[in-house]
Amino acid sequence: MEKDLQIEEIEFAKKTSYAIYENLTSVIFGATTALRAAVLSAMTGKHLLLEDSPGVGKTQLAKALAKSLGANSSRIQGQPDLLPSDITGFSIYRDDLRTWEFRPGPVFSQILLLDELNRTPPRTQAALLETMEERSVTIDGTTHSLPDPHLVIATQNPLSQHGTYPLVESQMDRFGISVSMGYPSEHEELGLVLQANDAIQPESLTQATDVEGWLRIQNAVKTVGLVPAVGEYAVRICRTTRIFPGVILGASPRALLSLIDIAKAEAILCGRNYVTPQDLQNVTSLALSHRIIANGDPKSILAEIISKTPAPRP
C-alpha cells in the first residue's frame, strides 16, 4: 500500500512538473536547459540563479514559473541604493498602541523574484543569507518565519557590466541551481519576431497547480530512492572538485546534499522512483558550477571530473 502511494505521488509530481514545463515553453522561446532547471528548482525548493545578459527572458521565466505554481510572488529591482530593510521589512513604533509593529518586506512571499541581484551592494545581498538558508528573518531580536514553500529566483548580469557587485561565496552557495538562458537560435529568434504581437504573457497562463500541489511535488521528491553506490558516486564527484587541478574552492557538503536532491527530481522527470548515475551527471553542472572557483570554466572542469570519476554499474 505504501509503495502504491509513493508511485501515485511520483506520477502526480511528474505529470504536474511537465505541465509547468509546457507553460514555460509557451512564454520563452528556446532555452530548454534553463526551463528544465526552473522546473527542477520548483520541485526541490532549491533557490534559482539565472545568470545572463539583459533581455534574454530571465524575468519572464520567473514570472511564468510563479503563475504556473499558483503562488503569491513579489519582485524587487536590484539597484545600488537598495537597503536590507527594503527586502526583509522593518519595525515602526505605533504611538496609538505604544508598541513596535513589524512591517514585513517583499521577502515574505512564496516566490521572491530579485532582478539584477548583483546590482545591489554587499550589505543588502547579505540580508538574504538567513532568509535563503533558514527561511526566516530576524528583526530587532525577533525571528519571523517565511511562508512555506518559499523560493528565491534571482537574476544576475555578467560581472563585466558596469555597476555590478560580485556575490560572495557564501551567497552563491545558497543557490541550489544556477543556469544561463543563452541566446535563442536563429530559427527561435525568427519565431519570436513573427509572433511578437501574439506572444503569451506570464499573467495569462493557466496555473498548472496550486501551493498544495507544489508541496506534494516537493514531498514526492523526498521519497525517491538512493542506493549507497549512487550516493557514494555523488560523494566522489564533490570530493574530487576539492582536489582537482585548477580548482581553488570545491563543492561544499551543502552542495553535495543539494546535488542529490536535484538528481532525485531529475529521476522523477525521467519517470523513475530511484536515482541513477545518469541523473547525477545530468544535473551536476546545474548544481555545482556556481559553487566552485577555478582557473578556467567550471562547467568544463565538472565535465572532465565526471568523465574521470568511475560510475557504479547498474
Between these two residues, 276 and 167, which has the higher pLDDT value? Answer: 276
Q: Which three cell numbers stand for residue 196?
A: 511578437
Looking at residue 138, its pLDDT comes to: 87
Give the confidence band of 196 by pLDDT, cuts at 50, 70, 90. Answer: low
Which cell numbers hold the place of 261? Answer: 536532491
Domains of the chain: 1-81+108-193 (3.40.50.300), 221-314 (1.10.8.80)
Cell numbers given for 113: 523574484
233-257 tens-digit pLDDT: 999 999 999 999 999 999 999 999 9
**Percentage of the residues of the chain whose pLDDT score is greater than 90:** 56
Kindly tell me if the per-residue pLDDT of 177 is higher than 70.
yes
> Is the CB of residue 217 less than 8 Å from the CB of residue 211?
no
Whether the predicted pLDDT of 149 surpasses 80: yes
Distances (CA, A) of 145 to 130, 133, 141: 11, 12, 13
Strands 99-104 and 111-115: unpaired
Query: What is the Cα Rg of the chain in Å?
Result: 20
The better pLDDT of the pair 195, 99 is held by 99
Q: Is the pLDDT of residue 142 over 90?
A: no
Q: Nearest-CA neighbor of 171 among 290, 269, 15, 76?
A: 290
pLDDT for res 278: 96
Q: Looking at the predicted structure, is the pLDDT value of residue 150 above 80? A: yes
Largest CA distance in the chain: 70
Read off the DSSP letter of residue 199.
P
Please write the tens of the pLDDT for every residue from 202-229: 777 889 999 999 999 999 999 999 999 9
Instruction: Check pLDDT > 60 for residue 147.
Output: yes
- Residue 309 has what DSSP assignment? S
The Cα–Cα gap between 303 and 226 comes to: 22
Look at residue 300 in the predicted model and tell me its pLDDT. Answer: 94
